[in-house]
């Protein structure tokens, strides 16, 4: 069972995705109504997969996705865009993210398979180096300036 964070402001869509992923997939689904709450939940819950809409209040997906991609903690967490923004003009905006996309309305069969494939892919990736995880002490040590590291050694 995976923990999946779904960031979406339209509650009927949230309920549909929760149903598909919990009943058909057996996953735990966390939901957030916008990118601000979603980013905070991602930091605190460390999901196995993040699914996000693009058009949301406060922080939309166009802003959230680059923020997630810049955060070291999420380097090995797959991100799936689930959106109704599927027109040619919209594609020019989301194609540079180089992420998988599912268009609304979703087919439960297709969507369930897409999620399963992304989770399998993530599981096949090598584990993150300890220095890549900002929650570990070694991450902070690796970011220390050389002078601080040398001075610290002299203390012990």
Instruction: Name the pLDDT band for 150 (thresholds 50, 70, 90).
Output: low
What's the pTM value of the predicted model, to 2 decimals? 0.79
List pLDDT tens digits, range 27-52.
999 999 999 999 999 999 999 999 99
Strand arrangement of the beta sheet that strand 101-103 belongs to:
28-32, 3-7, 49-52, 79-83, 101-103
Please name the residue that has the structure tokens 């949301």: 56
Structural domains in the chain, sorted by start:
3-125 (3.40.50.2300), 128-156 (no CATH)
Task: Answer whether residue 138 shows pLDDT above 70.
Answer: no
- Do the beta carbons of residue 17 and residue 82 sit within 8 Å? yes
Q: What are phi and psi of 82, to 5 degrees?
A: -120, 110
The residue with tokens 């903690």 is 73
Specify the pLDDT at position 156: 44
């Amino acid at each position: 069972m995976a923990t999946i964070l779904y960031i979406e402001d339209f509650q009927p869509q949230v309920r549909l995705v929760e149903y598909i992923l919990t009943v058909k997939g057996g996953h735990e689904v966390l939901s957030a109504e916008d990118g601000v709450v979603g980013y905070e939940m991602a930091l605190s819950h460390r999901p196995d997969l993040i699914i996000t809409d693009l058009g949301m209040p406060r922080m939309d997906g166009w802003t959230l996705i680059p923020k997630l991609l810049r955060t070291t903690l999420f380097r090995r967490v797959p991100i799936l865009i689930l959106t109704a923004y599927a027109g040619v003009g919209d594609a020019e905006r989301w194609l540079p993210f180089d992420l998988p996309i599912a268009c609304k309305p979703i087919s439960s069969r297709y969507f369930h398979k897409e999620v399963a494939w992304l989770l399998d892919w993530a599981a096949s990736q090598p584990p993150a180096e300890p220095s890549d995880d900002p929650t570990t002490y070694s991450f902070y040590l690796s970011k220390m300036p050389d002078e601080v590291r040398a001075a610290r050694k002299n203390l012990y």
